A and B are shown apart, each in its own frame.
Chain A
Amino acid sequence: MKTEHKKWELRLYIAGHTEKSVTAMNNLRRYCEEHLKGLYKIEVIDLLRKPQLAEGDQILATPTLVRKVPEPIRKIIGDLSNEEKVLVGLNIIPA
């Protein structure tokens, strides 16, 4: 894979441990283990605890996955249940 040399910094914004949040977290972990093993870093931010962080990344919906690195920033909202969409959205596989 040509993206192997890159580091991936992902941020997942959730609002409390709801069903959707948990699904999203599990889905994300699974995709990363499969495609970006050892190259990724996931930061989960619970907006209920840190509401001030929502503004910075322009978060509207939860859950929202933000790809901080590599640039440009990409956002995927929803529980990430569609694997292909997530991988395309994060530019892990070409569309």
Chain B
Amino acid sequence: MKTNSSTKQKQHNKALSTLQKTPTGISGLDEVTGGGLPKGRPTLVCGEAGCGKTMLSIEFIVRGVIQFNEPGVIMTFEERAAELAVNVASLGFDLEKLQADKKIKMDYVHISRAEIQETGEYDLDGLFIRLGHAIDSIKAKRVVLDTIENLFGGLENEAILRAELRRLFTWLKDKGVTAIVTGERGEGKLTRYGLEEYVSDCVILLDHRVVNQISTRRMRIVKYRGSLHGTNEYPFLIDSEGIAVLPVTSLNLDKETTSERISSGIPSVDDMLGGKGFFRGSSILVSGTAGTGKTSIASAFADGVCKSKQRCLFFAFEESPQQIVRNMRSINIDLEKHIKSGMLKFFGARPTLYGLEMHLVAIHKEIQKFKPSVVILDPITNFISIGSLSEVKNMLIRLIDFLQGEQITVMFTALTLGDLVYDQTDEAISSLVDAWLMVKDIEANGERNRGMYVMKSRGMKHSNQVREFVISDDGLELIEVYVGPDGILTGSAREAQILQEETGVAIHNYALSRKDREIMRKRQVLEAKISSLNSEFESVEEELNKVYEEEELRKQILNKNRQTMQSIRRGNEKNDERQNSK
């Protein structure tokens, strides 16, 4: 029922919205404007010199041809067609070819007061006819007038000019072309000659600001009649692929979540996180003081991700990619093979290269191009050098927002400098991240060791213990720390504890064996005693037996003697025989 009514609602809305839009094809701009520029109407793009007005206009036309098969007319009042073609060739736009293919028509309107005399009444029908001819000759759907205000410099009669401009914009609407009209920013006004008066459907303001020697380009939709639009200032970037606007700051938190897990690349860290690692699409912060192995943790993560045949994009803001690859080799993490197999991509940039917003746009673009499942930023703290804490936080919110939407897991590393700053930096972003690993120096007994613990990990069981974090030739490992009466033991103290325990075991074993031997001896003594008693008993027995035998023997002898005596006395042989037979 519910879904039914909601789809009905949607259809209803669709039927209501009569304002059609022409997509620009410019990355991000269509999101900001909710689909593009108003179809069949002129849009004013204004801003100071060098803010990217012309670039935006040309890209609108070229993308119109390439992506939407809508031919376009570029009428320029500033640059010659050939110069313009050279200027945009750096973006890979081949205007010459597009013109030859009759997809784009360029017209350079040259106007100079020195060459022109004015006398009496006139109108700008010549311009209309030129433009009309250009539009008709290639059946253009898009038109750019860059910068039409130059007419004010070339013509004296402003009253006629204004009347004609008003007529021009109406005429453009009648023609049904989607047009961009550019205008120079004026003092206290959007444009120097008040073009906004004539173009009332959509006004886009471009801005180029330099703060702390770092420039940032921004875009704002001042007005968009009949359409919802973002009202913020959106940073944008002009690079080798044209303009990219960053539309992310969606206010809603209705991101899809998954309970799928992704290994941290270090088995013992996984163990601390309920045995399975992080959630996919979550954000992870690894913070610690200098030299605690944050980059190593990040690299191990990258290594693990690549081994499981997923893509990883590594933004290195401190060390160069080559440096990281070399350093990680020393702890048995081979990142190079992942780079070669295309699973891992490094993107190295100094934070001071451009402003925060530009970084965000650049990161955004790289991510959209590479489509990784894991993104690593190492470290984010360097950004504070180019923006305030709140700005950095803002940027990270937007980045996390975007990454969560794409189900990309992100790991940030953050440098902390002692307790004071650590609180500051981490507090700013700790509420944003889902998991927070903290690597801490443990200083004791004249040495420094690393302790790691899971500060937080949303939505999973995790260990509350401090583990010793050991970086060896074989990689990274967490070792259970010893908790003694004086606190936790790490490093050599832990080793000593192990040795001590081993000694204890040896002594214990020794003691055991001594006791065994004693028992053995006692038994031997007893057994000896038993055997002597036995032999004593035998001799006594023998003695006794001897007496018996002697007595028997004596008895027999006595008997014999007696008989002999009797026979002798009788002298009777017969008696003798009788006696014998008896």
Contact = CB atoms under 8 A, between A and B. Distances in A.
Contacts of B123: 15, 20, 61-62
B492 to A, nearest CB: 85
B122 A51 contact: no
B119 A82 contact: yes
Interface stretch (A1-9, A33-41, A68-76): A68-76
A47 B126 contact: yes
Nearest to A48: B129
B121 A79 contact: yes
A60 B109 contact: yes
Contacts of A59: 126-127, 130
Given A54-B129, A54-B133, A61 B122 contact: yes
A51 B117 contact: no
Interface in B78-133: 107, 109-111, 115-130, 132-133
Contact of A60 (B119, B121, B132, B151): B151
B111, B116, B117, B151 — most chain A CB neighbours (10 Å):
B117
Contacts of A75: 115-117
A16 to B, nearest CB: 8
Interface in A49-94: 51-52, 54-55, 58-64, 73-82, 85-86, 88-89
22 contacts: A47-B125, A48-B129, A51-B130, A51-B133, A54-B129, A54-B130, A54-B133, A55-B107, A55-B133, A58-B111, A60-B155, A64-B122, A73-B115, A75-B115, A76-B116, A76-B118, A76-B119, A77-B155, A78-B122, A80-B119, A85-B119, A89-B117
A91 B110 CA distance: 22
Closest 6 CB pairs of A and B: A89-B117, A51-B133, A81-B120, A15-B125, A79-B120, A78-B120
Contacts of A81: 119-121
Nearest to B77: A60
Contact of A61 (B107, B127, B132): B127
A88 B109 CA distance: 25
Nearest to B161: A61
B117 A77 contact: yes
Contacts of B121: 20, 23, 78-79, 81
